[in-house]
Structure 1
């Protein structure tokens, strides 16, 4: 065997304890919000038939996938996104599920792309979807859930903004400008790149789609307008009026929810994926220093295309890579992601059996307990307790153990007191009982 360091693959992460603690912190917040909104968690396999992705995105997506032929001769791929798996699973159970269905998942996804800031070759992603409802309240609900998934981590309206639009509205605008329906997908793709590339490069893309310079100018001007001004300038056509009314209803629901400060209309937002059919949205940091944190919208035809089930649906994906960067930039990574409640210190090895019994009793009550695994001096044990971030130390000396007590020290204040061992374990049990969900009902 050759010697030397074996490095990890580019674009993949090692989760050392600190990074894993942050990951767990994010996932826990996501799960809490999912539960509050009545979503049920699910998961699927990381390896799927390649056709599941080519049917949705075309053969060109294969170059972005970890795709290969397995030992059974099947063309397979590591999942690059969750929506196709979700559609396949939903199709298998849709007939027996009460509607609307609310599911969420936190899958690990893989794409063979050039690693860059905010995008790696693997990441975890919160996926939340609602199936079986067309009312605009469902659109507002999924956007609110995305906002709350970030609020739960300490981000507020000063940190994030939700840009909201509607593909039907922009399509109706293109009709009003005389741009043929057959060119809409190409124009959508051009608009999707507008903010990144600027108007001059996009003029060339629009020209290739048959949009002349005069219509391009009118389109750019319209896309910059607030919703009310856009309707004042281009209203009158029924499809445009209906799309605008639906979007205004979504905004009114979000306003009633208390999220008006988080959202704004942006007609330039169309989302590049062709399967979106209505409301679309993305969540960005207010300073525009990072990639989009979250993106989603309504995709009423996708379940039929992928799973043969004709049900309306909408949802979003929120990646952990950009989110972790934003939390670090805003100072929102908890300083004490690792928690030790008690560190038991033995003055001599004679107290070790008592320490082990006490540790088990406290751990049975749900407390996080450490002690030294070798005989060391009291000073070094206190140093280890400090390094572990212990909230308190429990000192067992021969004289104290003989009386059935321990010396309890609060590591924050330095205050010390004696407490009976039996009373210590009873207090821990009472603390757990007070904290349990059943005790608060």
Structure 2
């Protein structure tokens, strides 16, 4: 009798695929999946799935994946232990024992590592075990581990993965750190202006009204702005928050996100920064995958997801189609005009010398340095611009008050 089975399986690209299959028993379904080019991860009968659903739902809703920083730290420690001669099971056991048993982050990491260890003890590979926790480990991670296991160099693969994640974290941190000061400056400046208009200015309005004099135009404008903020300030704040949520919802739409990313790349200073970030992420990911034995087409497919720009991801997808036909990688990427010439040149050189992986990593280093330089330039432009604009606004408010006070002084004399 044929039974409906629910399965989770790993594709050749390292993606976790879920679906249903018909078969008399689990062995038939596993054989069918392997004939289809899939690596079975979990196979559950329809009736068993129904019985377990009520027990699993509460756990599934609560379970969350590891943070990227946790994954990077775990990967580095595993790479060090494997490099020192420990086998993977002992390395995982050591990590589990050293992780704290208190705190949400520590418990979550222990749970994930225990699941990985148990899956391997049940006969699965490390890559297959990682695929069961796709909420913590990306397709890039799984593919690199799979290639490392196939080549007998899992320690080297984990070392490259740790380096990749540390470089990505360093790049992200440098971007965030560079923008913190301008953001604080903007918030402080806006707060100062609002305080002047809604807190200081109203103290002088009764004095101006008692004098009954014609106020200067600038003073009337400033008083009107203060009245508007006092009356509609809360509504304006709620409107800004609603606009932010609406923008976030629109960015979740593929068509709008594509147009937004295309516009971003055309901006004068931000565009150059975005191009260098795209190039750094693409070449770092591509080089790491190729150095670990992953095929070019699989590496390009994975790289689409890490670029962080829909326009750039589309360019990589189009280049992958050309590469599939034997047309190379550098020329289709160059034709899009989205990537810096230096990255294209090094890719072309790598194709010509059969050193695409190492030269992609070299290009990544160059463009990561370029990102840091671009960030310094951006901050050097933003900080004076914000200071000048907000200084002019504050000076305008103070000038409006002084003009009115001088007018009252003239009337008194």
Query: Same fold by TM (over 0.5)?
Result: no
Structure number, greater radius of gyration: 2
> TM-score with structure 1 length normalisation?
0.20
Q: Structure 1 or 2: larger strand share?
A: 1
> TM-score with structure 2 length normalisation?
0.22
Q: Structure 1 or 2: larger helix share?
A: 2
